Amino acid sequence: MSRIKTLAPAFVAAGMLLGATAPVMAGPEDTAFFQRFAGSFSGSGEVLRNAQASPNNVNCTFKGQPGQDRITFNGTCRAYVLFSRDVGISLMVDPKTDRYVGTYTGSSIGVATLSGTRKGTGATFTITWPKPVNGDRVATLSIQFQSDNTLRVVTTDKASVNGPVITTSDIRLKRAG
């Protein structure tokens, strides 16, 4: 079972991506988007350990801790007794560019960087892995709130360098309480 690494380096790295300029406050739509992650979530879905594997059914729990211009969303996903993995997403917004940057923790190959944009109640990110996964270092992460209390997190990737795009994880979560 992998452990979530400390998030401090992730915020330092994200800060470097945004530049060393004076902070600019996030807009109200960005703040509202981050606030949607507040609280505890649980749910289930499917995860592929790699492009050649059969999907594993997983049950997940997460806790969101939003700020005005950032979010941490950390949890654990379990597939019966096969595996348990700590997972985390840390994001911050650069209101000058409307770009979201951050990190994804949970892959056995290490911390990946995230970069993307928000549209309405969802966001799409390019994942850049620290090492090749399925033949390259790039995948896509989509987060879409389907209501105030439910969200869907989907990761897609090419099955190989020239292969078709496949869904490598599809998890639906509901806010507790």
Domain residue extents for the chain: 8-175
- Per-residue pLDDT band for 53 (boundaries 50, 70, 90) equals confident
- Per-residue pLDDT band for 170 (boundaries 50, 70, 90) equals very high
- Least confident segment among 7-11, 41-45, 85-89, 151-155: 7-11
Q: Is the pLDDT of residue 14 over 70?
A: no
Residue pLDDT, tens place only, 147-159: 889 999 999 999 8
Q: Are strands 83-94 and 70-79 parallel, antiparallel or unpaired?
A: antiparallel
CA torsion, ordered 79, 85, 89, 90, to nearest 10 deg: 160
H or E stretch including 139?
Answer: strand 136-145
Q: Is the pLDDT of residue 167 over 70?
A: yes
Residue pLDDT, tens place only, 81-111: 778 999 999 999 987 888 999 999 988 899 9
Residues with Cβ within 8 Å of 163's Cβ and at least 6 positions away in sequence, in order, are 51, 134, 135
Q: Is the pLDDT of residue 3 over 80?
A: no
Give the architecture (CATH level 2) of 8-175. Beta Barrel (2.40)
What is the reported pTM?
Answer: 0.81
